Amino acid sequence: MRRFAHAATLVLAACSPEKAPEPAATPTASASAQAPAPVPADAPVILAFGDSLYAGYQLNPGEGYPPRLEAALNAGGVPAKVVNAGVSGDTTAAALQRLQFTLDNQPVKPTLALVGLGGNDMLRGLPPAETRANLDAILTEFDKRDIPVVLTGMLAAPNLGADYQKQFNPIWPDLAKKHNAGLVPFFLAPVLGNKDLMLEDNVHPNARGVDKIVAETRDQVAKALKAATVK
């Protein structure tokens, strides 16, 4: 999403009215300030395959979604190693092109994958049919390798028009059903519209925002990981 920060500000700002700022977190209350729980050597691997929302755009090392999710899971007694395979700027087409290489080069086969893509397709105004086809192919590859998936979804901004929304928004629930994948309907729902939780571009979450998203998604990820390890 990096190349389209200005466009994203205009597009995504329409998705949600601005919320009142949350009270500032104290150092002891901030999840980012806590020392992460150790990751067991034999912990199952979660592959976070996505764009800048996974890559940790403009965040310090350890502040992005994959490392914060890993810390939250292990702190909650769910052993997991989360591998960050997010690339800023990726469209679904670009991600599809690198998927096989990414999977082939994992030292350990992922037990679970998170797939978070589609925002850059929307910002470029790419046809939703292409986004659907690319995500379908990505999920098919995970299916072939017997790697369960949790999709973290995206929504089209209202100012793109009702027709675009009608084609774009159902992609994630439709494909989750088709591929028997888990679904987070809208990844940015916990933070969008709250400037206290966003970077200055009003598109990407800051460190506090990432922690908010982690808090909203970790239980679902933990449940999916447990199901994947006992199947």
Tens of pLDDT along 176-200?
999 999 999 999 999 988 999 999 9
Going along the chain, which residue ranges are E strands?
Answer: 45-50, 81-86, 112-116, 149-152, 182-184
pLDDT class of 230 with cuts at 50, 70, 90: confident
Q: How confident is the model at residue 143 (pLDDT cuts 50, 70, 90)?
A: very high
Q: Are 66 and 74 spatial neighbours (Cβ–Cβ below 8 Å)?
A: no
Exactly one of 52, 88, 179, 211 is catalytic; name it. Answer: 52
pLDDT single digits (tens) 20-78: 333 333 333 344 445 677 898 999 999 999 999 999 999 999 999 999 999 999 999 99
Please provide the average confidence, as pLDDT, over all residues in the chain.
Answer: 88
Q: Range of 128's domain?
A: 40-230
Active site residue 204: yes
With respect to residue 97, please indicate whether it lies within any of the assigned structural domains: yes
Confirm whether 117 is domain-assigned: yes
Mean pLDDT of 92-106: 98
Q: Report yes or no on 10 lying in a domain.
A: no
H or E, element range at 144: helix 128-144
Residue 4 belongs to a domain = no
At residue 33, the pLDDT reads 46
Provide mean pLDDT across the span 162-182. Answer: 98
Q: Is 77 exposed, middle or buried (0-12, 13-18, 19+ CB in 10 A)?
A: exposed
pLDDT at residue 30, rounded to an integer: 42
Residues 6+ apart with CB under 8 A from 213: 65, 187, 188, 190, 191, 205
Task: Give the pLDDT band (50/70/90) at residue 202.
Answer: confident
Check pLDDT > 60 for residue 112. Answer: yes
Outline where 151-206 has alpha helix (H).
162-168, 171-178
Q: How far apart are CA 152 and CA 176, in angstroms?
A: 10
pLDDT band at 84; cut points 50, 70, 90: very high
Which CATH number goes with the domain that contains 195? Answer: 3.40.50.1110
pLDDT of 16 > 70? The answer is no
Residue 212's pLDDT is 98
Q: Decide which of 2 and 144 is more confident.
A: 144
Known active-site residue 104: no
Q: Is 52 a catalytic residue?
A: yes
Distance (Å, rounded) from C-alpha 47 to C-alpha 147?
Answer: 10
pTM of the entire structure? Answer: 0.85
Q: Tally the domains of the chain.
A: 1
Q: Is residue 3 part of a domain?
A: no
In a domain, 2, yes or no: no
Query: Region 109-137: what's the mean pLDDT?
Result: 97
What radius of gyration, in Å, describes the C-alpha atoms of the chain? 17
**Residue 53 domain flag:** yes
Q: Which of 51, 88, 204, 211 is catalytic?
A: 204
Of 136, 143, 196, 201, catalytic? 201
Q: Residue 26 falls within a domain, yes or no?
A: no
C-alpha torsion sign, points 205, 211, 212, 215 = positive
